[in-house]
Amino acid sequence: MDAYRSILVHMDASPRCAMRLALARQLAREHDAAALLALLALEPVSFPEPVPVDLGMPVFRDEVDPEHRRRARETFDAALATGDPTMTWVEAPPMPPAWGMSQASHYVDLVVLGQRDPEDPLTADVPRDFVESVVMASGKPALVIPYAGRFDSIGRNVLIAWRPTRECARAVEAALPLLQRAARVHVVCWGEDSFGPAETTFGIVRALRWHGVECTAHRYPKEPEKLGEVLLSTAAAQDSELLVMGAYGHHRLRELLLGGTTRTLLRSMTLPVLMAH
């Protein structure tokens, strides 16, 4: 894959949704995407349903908070009014939002999500584990945008956190359309490798070069205990705009088995992260 031809972005009522949508639109322009879908997927709320006769018990219907829907739609309409690229508004059924988002994700190349702001009441109908649930269940790469900070572009200076694992291999493959357009790419790797001295690092350098991506590799002997924090510090020191990494965990037991590094990044991220499971 040399471009993202279809992109799905999550819509909610938060003010940060506008930046998330703007970045998705920028990617759609840069990759000449054939489709950009904006999906409203929120936890449904129960509303009393008027009935013509007294049934002896209240009747409720589940639907998205209409005020939150209105805010999200206004964000979409304001972006659409600025011109290309064209977008399509989609609404998930009144089901758990991670299910709706994951189902829609199966048909696109890239999913754009937002880190949940726990202090923003407008994200109360976005579950706490929404991002990790979508990443674990969708099978597609996710670009996660932090809830704080300004990000005008994605991918000019990229940091790859590499391990010789399925998750990292999938994340790097998914990031190739961005890596091939990047001005600088750095790879960091820790730990010994039974395949020979520095083979882990040199192997990924060679694999990226086959795709026209030149990078600078940094291999260290021992993985730090708080790898997530080290990755964020390294990204800041190198002025990285994007971190590429594998997401580790199990979709049915994510609270127990979601990897510590993945948890740290999703909780404390300071830059956009492209991850795949």
- Are both 136 and 222 inside the same structural domain? no
The DSSP-derived string for 191-214 is S--TTSTTHHHHHHHHHHHHTT--
Given pLDDT bands bounded at 50, 70 and 90, which one contains residue 172?
A: very high
Whether the per-residue pLDDT at 61 is higher than 70: the answer is no
Residue 182, domain CATH: 3.40.50.620
Q: What pLDDT does 258 receive? A: 43
For the chain, what percent of residues have pLDDT higher than 90?
Answer: 64
- Are both 91 and 206 inside the same structural domain? no
Distance (Å, rounded) from C-alpha 178 to C-alpha 127? 29
Is 169 part of any domain?
Answer: yes
Is 1 part of any domain?
Answer: no
- Are both 122 and 93 inside the same structural domain? yes
Distance (Å, rounded) from C-alpha 100 to C-alpha 107? 12
Number of independent structural domains in the chain:
2
Q: What is the mean pLDDT of residues 188-202?
A: 66
- Are both 91 and 163 inside the same structural domain? no
- Are both 84 and 132 inside the same structural domain? yes
Better-predicted residue by pLDDT, 93 or 50: 93
Q: What pLDDT does 23 receive? A: 96
Using the 3D structure, point to which of 113, 145, 177 is the last residue of a domain: 145
- Are both 69 and 38 inside the same structural domain? yes
Domain that holds residue 87: 6-145
Is 174 part of any domain?
Answer: yes
- Are both 182 and 211 inside the same structural domain? yes
Using the 3D structure, point to which of 145, 168, 191 is the last residue of a domain: 145
Whether the per-residue pLDDT at 218 is higher than 60: the answer is yes
The one-letter code for the residue type at 191 is G
Given pLDDT bands bounded at 50, 70 and 90, which one contains residue 48?
A: low
Whether the per-residue pLDDT at 254 is higher than 50: the answer is no
Q: Can you give the C-alpha Rg of the chain in angstroms?
A: 20
Using the 3D structure, point to which of 111, 145, 179 is the last residue of a domain: 145
For the chain, what percent of residues have pLDDT higher than 70?
Answer: 86
Each residue's pLDDT tens digit, 77-116: 999 999 999 999 999 988 899 999 999 999 999 999 999 9
45: three-class secondary structure by DSSP = strand
- Are both 113 and 19 inside the same structural domain? yes
Q: What is the mean pLDDT of residues 209-230?
A: 87
- Are both 44 and 84 inside the same structural domain? yes
User: Does the pTM of the predicted model rise above 0.75?
Assistant: yes
